[in-house]
């Protein structure tokens, strides 16, 4: 089992989750993070650290976020690994809980 990063991370991209990951399974894109499913050990430490509730356990992914399991898998293979917390984008809070952000995902 794994955890995934969902749509609400797009444009928010807080990295609090990265700091607590014991296996460094987060990968960073231009405006979102993803979790590599083959590296995640299902420790659940990252989920409560996400200030925008964008991290889900594989067995609790909301119906409208199911495509993010495949996206996390795909993008973790091409994006660089991130192991340290960075400042969130200045406008991160403005993007929190805005619907339809998938179209804004930068690869």
Domain count, the chain: 1
Contacts (Cβ under 8 Å, ≥6 apart) of 97: 8, 52
**Is 8 inside a domain boundary?**
yes
Instruction: Determine the structural domain holding residue 53 and report its residue range.
Output: 3-89
1: confidence class by pLDDT, cuts 50, 70, 90: confident
**Is 53 inside a domain boundary?**
yes
Question: In CATH, what number is assigned to the domain containing residue 68?
Answer: 3.30.70.20
Residue 32 clears pLDDT 90, i.e. is over it: yes
For the chain, the maximum distance between any two Cα atoms, rounded to a whole number of angstroms, is 33
- What's this model's pTM, rounded to 2 decimal places? 0.96
Q: What is the DSSP letter of 71?
A: H
Residue 76 clears pLDDT 90, i.e. is over it: yes
21: confidence class by pLDDT, cuts 50, 70, 90: very high
User: Mean pLDDT throughout 60-79?
Assistant: 97
User: Mean pLDDT throughout 13-29?
Assistant: 98
């Amino acid at each position: 089992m794994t955890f995934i990063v969902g749509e609400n991370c797009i444009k928010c991209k807080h990295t609090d989750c990265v700091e607590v990951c014991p296996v460094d399974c987060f990968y960073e894109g231009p405006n979102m993070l993803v979790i590599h499913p083959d590296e995640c050990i299902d420790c659940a430490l990252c989920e409560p650290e996400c200030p925008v509730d964008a991290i889900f356990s594989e067995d609790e992914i909301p119906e409208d976020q199911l495509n993010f399991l495949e996206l996390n898998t795909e993008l973790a293979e091409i994006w660089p690994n991130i192991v340290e917390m960075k400042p969130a984008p200045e406008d991160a809070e403005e993007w929190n809980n805005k619907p339809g952000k998938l179209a804004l995902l930068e690869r």
